[in-house]
């Protein structure tokens, strides 16, 4: 990863978009009845970076986005959840991308991993006092389902963007 | 690989989606089963003689005990495998014995001659627990 001014400017722009998308979602929440579940529109921007630039750039944008969101809007415990979710998700997406999957499979796997990692982090950090095993299993199944659906939606949005905006023009070569 | 190829839904994506759906379904079903056993574990068997509680036992227990009432009345109450019944009784009608096993919250076995009520309380779906 060598740094050119153009590339840095473009990644910064996409980082700003990712932060903004997360903020828009926090201001206008779309609830589907499952607590903690949202569309995760910011992932759309991250997918764009992953496909137009690469895994390293996507991981960088993802971590920076999480830090900025935490600094601006939330607190330390939230940072642990979101950072673990973001890191695991980008790691798995980069791995799966090498397989026979398109952006849809990659995004769905990422969404699911993001959700399940946060649940795991919540279990470790907060102990989720009082939750029964049956609740955790049911919740995990809903998180897998929602992560997959949200992943497909984000993949569709990102694929439209990637087709309209030439990746070559953006990657700064 | 042609970059636009990566943007089209592929068979592998469908298979991944199917696998995730299956995993979610399995977890959901497992959760449902677990919830049932969790709800069942706090069910209690309560026996009332003339409105007064004489026995209180968890339905998970294994128990075989007589409950005595006036005029030498005797009902042998048996709790086993999450169910309860009156095994034998010396009442004239034997209705309580004929009622057999009960296991659901709210179900009752009644022995009128001995003024005995055997009821399953607690657990999910119990009207009393809901009203409380």
CA distance B58 to chain A (A): 20
Contact, B55 vs B47, CB < 8 A? Answer: yes
Contact, A105 vs B10, CB < 8 A? Answer: yes
Residue in A100, A144, A159 closest to B10 by CB: A100
Return the residue in B31, B35, B37, B41 with the most chain A beta carbons within 10 A, the one to mutate for interface testing: B31
CB neighbour burial string for A87-101, b if at least 16 within 10 angstroms, e if fewer: bbbbbbbbebbeeeb
Contact, B55 vs B45, CB < 8 A? Answer: yes
Question: Torsion angle, CA of A50/A55/A57/A59, rounded to 10 degrees?
Answer: 100
CATH topology for A3-171 is: Arp2/3 complex 21 kDa subunit ARPC3 (1.10.1760)
Q: Is the pLDDT of residue A8 over 70?
A: yes
pLDDT in tens, B54-69: 999 888 888 899 999 8
Read off the pTM: 0.67
pLDDT in tens, A126-166: 665 556 777 888 889 999 999 999 999 999 999 999 988 87
Q: Residue B113 and residue B96: Cα distance in Å, rounded?
A: 10
Compute the residue count for chain B. 132
Domain boundaries, given as residue ranges, for chain A: 3-171
Q: Which two tokens stand for residue A113?
A: 């991993």
Inter-chain residue contact A138 with B38, CB threshold 8 Å: no
ipTM value of the model? 0.82
Whether A50 has its CB under 8 Å from any CB of chain B: the answer is: no
pLDDT category at A73 given cuts 50, 70, 90 is: confident
Helix (H) or strand (E) holding B69: strand B63-69
* pLDDT value of position B128: 45
């Amino acid at each position: 990863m060598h740094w050119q001014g153009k590339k840095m400017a473009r990644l910064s722009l996409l980082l700003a978009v990712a932060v903004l998308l997360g903020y828009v979602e926090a201001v206008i929440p779309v609830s589907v009845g499952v607590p903690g579940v949202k569309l995760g529109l910011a992932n759309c921007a991250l997918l764009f970076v992953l496909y137009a630039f690469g895994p390293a750039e996507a991981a960088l944008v993802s971590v920076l986005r999480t830090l900025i969101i935490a600094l601006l809007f939330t607190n330390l415990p939230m940072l642990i959840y979101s950072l673990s979710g973001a890191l695991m998700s980008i790691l798995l997406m980069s791995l799966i991308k090498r397989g026979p999957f398109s952006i849809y499979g990659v995004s769905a796997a990422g969404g699911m991993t993001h959700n399940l990692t946060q649940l795991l982090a919540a279990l470790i950090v907060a102990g989720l006092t009082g939750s029964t095993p049956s609740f955790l299993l049911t919740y995990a199944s809903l998180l897998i389902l929602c992560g997959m659906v949200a992943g497909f939606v984000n993949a569709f949005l990102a694929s439209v963007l990637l087709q309209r905006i030439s990746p070559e023009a953006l990657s700064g070569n | 690989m042609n970059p636009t190829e990566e943007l089209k839904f592929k068979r592998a994506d469908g298979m991944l989606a199917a696998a995730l759906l299956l995993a979610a379904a399995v977890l959901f079903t497992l959760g449902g089963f677990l919830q049932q056993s969790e709800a069942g574990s706090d069910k209690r068997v309560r026996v009332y003689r003339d409105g007064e509680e004489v026995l209180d036992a968890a339905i998970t227990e294994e128990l075989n005990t007589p409950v005595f009432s006036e005029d030498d009345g005797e009902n042998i109450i048996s709790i086993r495998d999450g169910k309860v019944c009156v095994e034998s009784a010396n009442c004239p009608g034997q209705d309580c014995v004929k009622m057999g096993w009960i296991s659901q919250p709210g179900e009752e076995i009644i022995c009128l001659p001995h003024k005995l009520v055997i009821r399953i309380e607690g657990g999910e779906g119990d009207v009393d627990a809901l009203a409380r």
